[in-house]
Amino acid sequence: MIFQLTSPLLDGCVLAILDQGDAYGYSLTQQLKQEIDISESTLYPVLRRLQREGCLAVYDRQFQGRNRRYYTITQSGRELLADCRRDWAEFNGRVNQILSGGARDE
């Protein structure tokens, strides 16, 4: 079964990877692909949006005569990542509760 990866969840995944260290677009895509099905055409608009929102900064570095654009997480990005982690833990806990047959009566 395939579940839809929403924009906020994808943002959180990208930020979590970049929280471990800077990466260029292709490298980031490959890291994400190890866990989820995603294409570069999906990722680059996310990176541009996160950059516009101040969550990522970019810099270029030469590699074999070409420039690679690297992405790095900013303090705003770390704050958004913390929010994503908190919200995911809450959401995941609720879904697990339902799927395990223990939905709470309210």
From the options 1.10.10.10, 3.40.50.300, 2.60.120.260, 1.10.260.40, give the CATH code of 7-99.
1.10.10.10
**Band of the pLDDT at 104, cuts 50, 70, 90?**
low
Helix (H) or strand (E) holding 60: strand 56-63
Inter-residue contact 19 to 78 (CB < 8 Å): yes
pLDDT digits (tens, 9 = 90+) for 36-86: 988 888 899 999 999 999 999 999 999 898 999 999 999 999 999 999 999
The sign of the torsion formed by the CA atoms of 93, 99, 104, 106 equals: positive
**Alpha-carbon gap, residue 97 to 100, rounded angstroms:** 5
Q: Which amino acid is at 29?
A: T
Question: Comparing C-alpha atoms, which of 72, 85, 64, 62 is closest to residue 25?
Answer: 72
DSSP H helical ranges for 34-74: 40-52
Counting residues of the chain whose pLDDT is more than 70, the rounded percentage is 95
Q: First CA to last CA across the chain, in angstroms? A: 29
Q: Which amino acid is at 33?
A: K
pTM: 0.87
